[in-house]
Amino acid sequence: MALAFEGIIIYTAISCLGKSLFFAFWSIVIGFFGSILPIVALKSFYNGIKDDVKLFRELRMVRKRYGSDKEIQEDISRVKERIESLNSQLDKLNEEDNNLNELLSSINREILLLQKKLYVVKETFISSTFNVEGDRIDEKLNLEYEESHVEEKVQAIQDEDEKASLGKRFVVTKKLKVKHKSQLSLCFFYGKS
Amino acid sequence: MQNKFNRLIELLQNKMNSKKSERNSIMKRKNIIASNVYVLETDIKTENEKLKELESSLKKYKLYYFKVMGIVLYMILASFAS
C-alpha cells in the first residue's frame, strides 16, 4: 500500500515537473515520507505485539507453575531463611578463621622466641676444662687458658650476637680447685650488663 | 653444666616441635575453613539468584492478573459502548 502510494506521488511529481519545480520537489518529499513512515509505524506496531505475546507467554508459564501468589511468597521466605542461615554459618566460619589467625600469629611469635632461645643455648655454650696438677697451679692454669684461645671464641660469638642484635651477654668464669687439681669452666648467658 | 644445657636444649626443641605441630594443625583447620567458606559463598550466590527469580515471578504473576483484568474491563466497556 505504501509502495503504491509512493508510486502515485512519484508519478505526480514527474508529470508536474515541467509545470512547477517547487511542486515537483514537495511531491518527492511527501512521497518519500509517505512511504517510510507507514513502514516504520507498522514495524513498531508489530514489535510491540510480539513483545506483548512473549510477555503473556511468560506470565502464563508463571501462572501454571504457581497456584497462587502466596506460594511464591512462601518460596521467597523459605529462600530468605536459607540465605540467613548460610550467612550466619559464614560469619561463624569467618570468626573462627580470625581467631585462628590470631592464634597462628602468637604461635609464630613463640616459635621465633624459642628459636632465638635455642640459638642462644645451642651455639653459645663454651665450656673449657683445664686439668692442672702439681705446684703453681694458678700460673699453669693461666697458661692453659691462654693457649686454649677461649677468649677468641667468646669474641666471635659476641660479634655474631651483635650482628643479629640479640643483646649483650655476661660471662661467668668459674675456677674450681680440687686438692692439687684445678678446673676452670666458662659459661655464657644472656643478661643486661 | 653441659648436661644442664643439653637438657635445656632438648626441652626447647620439644617445645618448638609441639608448637610446630600445633601450627600445622591450625593451618589444616584454616584450609578446611577456606574450602567451607567457598562452598557457602557459592550456595549464597545461587540462593540469591533463586530469590531474584522468585521476586520477578511474583511481579509477573501480579502483572498477569492486571493485564487479564484490563482486557476484561476493556471488553465490558466495549460491549456497553456498542
Contacts of A178 (CB under 8 A, 6+ apart): none
Residues of A in contact with B63 (CB under 8 A): 55, 59
Which pLDDT score is estimated for A12? Answer: 63
Q: Band the pLDDT of A126: cuts 50, 70, 90.
A: low
Which pLDDT score is estimated for A158? Answer: 72
Average predicted confidence (pLDDT) for chain A: 75
Rounded percentage of chain A residues whose pLDDT exceeds 70: 65
Q: Band the pLDDT of A192: cuts 50, 70, 90.
A: very low
Which pLDDT score is estimated for A174? Answer: 58
State the smallest CA–CA distance between residue A108 and chain B in angstroms: 8
Per-residue exposure over B11-22, b if at least 16 CB sit within 10 Å of its own CB, e if not: ebeeebeebeee
Cell, residue B22: 600445633
DSSP label of A124? S
C-alpha–C-alpha distance, residues A20 and A7, integer Å: 19
What is the average per-residue pLDDT within B59-67? Answer: 80
Highest mean pLDDT (candidates A41-45, A101-105, A167-171): A101-105
CA distances from B50 to A64, A192, B43 (A): 18, 68, 10
Q: Where are the domains of chain A?
A: 2-65, 68-123, 125-190
ipTM score for this prediction: 0.73
What is the average per-residue pLDDT within A65-86? Answer: 87
Residue B61 has pLDDT above 70, yes or no: yes
C-alpha–C-alpha distance, residues A134 and A130, integer Å: 13
C-alpha–C-alpha distance, residues A148 and A126, integer Å: 12
Q: Band the pLDDT of A193: cuts 50, 70, 90.
A: very low
Which pLDDT score is estimated for A185? Answer: 56
Nearest CA in chain B to A110: B19
Highest mean pLDDT (candidates A12-26, A55-69, A80-94, A102-116): A80-94
Chain B segment 19-78 residues within 8 A of A by beta carbon are 19-20, 22-23, 26-27, 29-30, 33-34, 36-37, 40-41, 43-44, 47-48, 50-51, 54-55, 57-58, 60-64, 67
Which pLDDT score is estimated for B78? Answer: 86
Q: For residue B69, how many C-alpha atoms fall within 13 Å in the half-sphere facing its CB? A: 6
Higher-confidence position of B69 and A96:
A96
Which pLDDT score is estimated for A37? Answer: 78
Per-residue exposure over A114-123, b if at least 16 CB sit within 10 Å of its own CB, e if not: beebbebbee
For residues A146 and A130, is the Cβ–Cβ distance under 8 A? no
pLDDT digits (tens, 9 = 90+) for A28-71: 777 777 777 778 888 888 888 888 788 778 877 877 877 777 88
The alpha-helical segments, DSSP class H, found in chain A are 2-15, 21-65, 69-123, 137-148, 150-163
Nearest CA in chain B to A123: B9
Which pLDDT score is estimated for A191? Answer: 44
